[in-house]
Amino acid sequence: MKIDFLRRCGSPTLELFFAGWGMDSRPFAWAADSPHTASCDFAVCYNYTDMELDGPDKANVNLASANQARPDIRGYSKVRVRAWSLGVYAASLVLPGLGCNVSTAVAINGTLWPVDDDLGIPHAVYDATAANLSAESLERFNRRMCGAHRAVFEARKPLRSVDSLRAELLHIRECAADRSRPQFTGWTQTVLSSRDKIFPIANMRRAWPATPQLELDEPHYMPDIPFVTAE
């Protein structure tokens, strides 16, 4: 898992965004200049071909850690988490080991069960996406993901290879098969899109029975997704 700090101003508060599958930080670079980050640091996590937080920003690495060298975000007095799509599951796995002070955590169009017929993406759909992944199928996926917002996404498109995207899907699938892994459960809100064609809306509603839900008339991807519901 990679992390890019797109804004760092020495703030005690960190906006930590877990992007979805197939992303890098490029689609979210604009957010570094948003009013929402004017008084805080902002970082994007992506590329879940493993579930260990690892650079590429080496300026904030805790070299004394017994783990692999990785950015140390425990110094922030407040960490505001937002996670989108399969990033919700990735965040749930990595947050317990970071030791950071999570003040709020918003799950956007994703669940803690990424491959599940009732609570996530149905098995057949997920497995077919991985098995048939190509440049052409990825274009079709992006159309379904973005809906009317496709032009915005295309202008900020991530630079990832098809092979890396397939590896990411397969690793998430492998992790999801082990339900004994500890997960972060301190989610304070969920945002669900009624026109989502990636995670079925009925599955997402079932997946978050005890967490406040906000439902939007949107597709899976929204241009302002790092700050959905931000005040």
pLDDT of residue 230: 72
Taken in order of first residue, the domains within the chain and their CATH numbers are 2-227 (3.40.50.1820)
Q: 133: closest CA among 158, 161, 162?
A: 162
Q: How do beta strands 41-46 and 2-7 pair?
A: antiparallel
Q: 104: closest CA among 211, 218, 217?
A: 211
Give the Cα separation of 24 and 158 in Å (integer).
5
What does the pLDDT profile of the chain (231 residues) look like in tens digits?
Answer: 999 999 999 999 999 999 999 999 999 999 999 999 999 999 999 999 999 887 553 333 332 222 334 467 888 999 999 999 999 999 999 999 988 999 999 999 999 999 999 999 999 999 999 999 999 999 999 999 999 999 999 999 999 999 999 999 999 999 999 989 899 999 999 999 999 999 999 999 999 999 999 999 999 999 999 998 875
